[in-house]
Amino acid sequence: MSRASDEPEADLPGEAPLPGLLPEPLGAELIAFRRDLHMHPELGNQEFRTTAAIKKRLEAAGLKPRVLDSGTGLLCDVGTWKGGRPMLAIRADIDALPIPDAKVNTPYRSTVPDRAHACGHDIHTTTVLGTGLVLAELDRQGLLPNPVRLVFQPAEEVLPGGATDAIRSGALDGVGRIIAVHCDPRVDAGRIGLRAGPITSACDRLEITLDGPGGHTARPHLTTDLVTAAARVAVDVPALLARRIDARAGLAVTWGRIDAGHACNVIPMRAELAGTVRCLDLDAWRDAPDKVHAAIDEVATLHGAKSEINYVRGVPPVVNDPAVAELLREAQTARRGAVAIEDTEQSLGGEDFSWYLEHVPGAMARLGVRTPGSNARLDLHRGDFDADEAAIKVGVELFTAAALLEGHRS
């Protein structure tokens, strides 16, 4: 991708510029590192090569990363925590998606069939790696006021998310706050999107099996017409929920798969539906399984079908702590000025960063990855997704500024 021109760092009035800028040689190294990850994507809980590459580079900088108990992903403290002030944690997710890389004429496109970094996790990983390397140099110079923990988390794309494994492995031990970014192809490189309060939605997986005796399409009155039953579940369940849950909660059931039958004149004995349940409101999300179950059973029973429901809990909404969101705002302002920040809306996407926020306050910013002036309409989870690599420098310097500001205030 072409790279956006770097904007000059903006000094805060009456203050010296913050240290922790990304040196140009390291910036070039990070771009090469990101491209290597992009060429070798690995799915959740299979990120062995990715984990080894991160570990090797951190160790080369004199740091001591620790692989998570699950076998992939790792934690690394920059500076020595001695049980004093809580640390700031900075999180990256390292897994890819099970879709083919559809880019053409891109030298670093995926070399792995049906695997692609189509959500920007390679950018996230490289950004946090670069942050760790810059902070390690500041620590050697005595300029890091408080230790910082790097969290390289596996399996963000696998419900309920690898964040739970990271937490069990001690990711939040000694941590007072946590921050992260997520790539946003609607925001220009050089800028970030910020929001206090909920910034993503809850996301669960829903799988339904409908059973009945089936029979001949000439005599549907003697059968359980499972095709009709499946169609009614697909249409009526979302409609029922829309009247039973406060519309402001933003609960949405959306189907991704419906499967029933093999012949035009045979009513099948089984039908299957699968989709997602997304919800903007945390309290409504907690109530969603019972309400969804009841609606499905009601519609299925009306049509004489027996329903079997597999409701897989995913992730709650990411709810940005206002004080931590303000830390990110101040960090970006210190680096690039307030003009490099835009307000962003709550999305219906899910993010397992939310699990960390069940334990400590934190915030996620949207990291702009669109080349300024570009008319490309790229989106996440598409095979042609790519990012303006100037975003890496922006992310590194955002995180180093946040670490320094947080450390001096603790």
Report the chain's C-alpha Rg in angstroms.
24
Q: What integer pLDDT is reported at residue 82 of this predicted model?
A: 77
Residue 357: name the closest of 199, 249, 169 by CA.
Answer: 199
Q: pLDDT tens digits, residue range 60-79?
A: 999 999 999 999 999 999 99
Low-confidence stretches of the chain (pLDDT < 70) are 1-16, 410
Q: What integer pLDDT is reported at residue 376 of this predicted model?
A: 77
Q: What integer pLDDT is reported at residue 377 of this predicted model?
A: 77
Q: What integer pLDDT is reported at residue 14 of this predicted model?
A: 42
Q: What integer pLDDT is reported at residue 16 of this predicted model?
A: 63
Residues with Cβ < 8 Å from 171, sequence gap 6 or more? 68, 75, 89, 91, 149, 151, 153, 163, 356
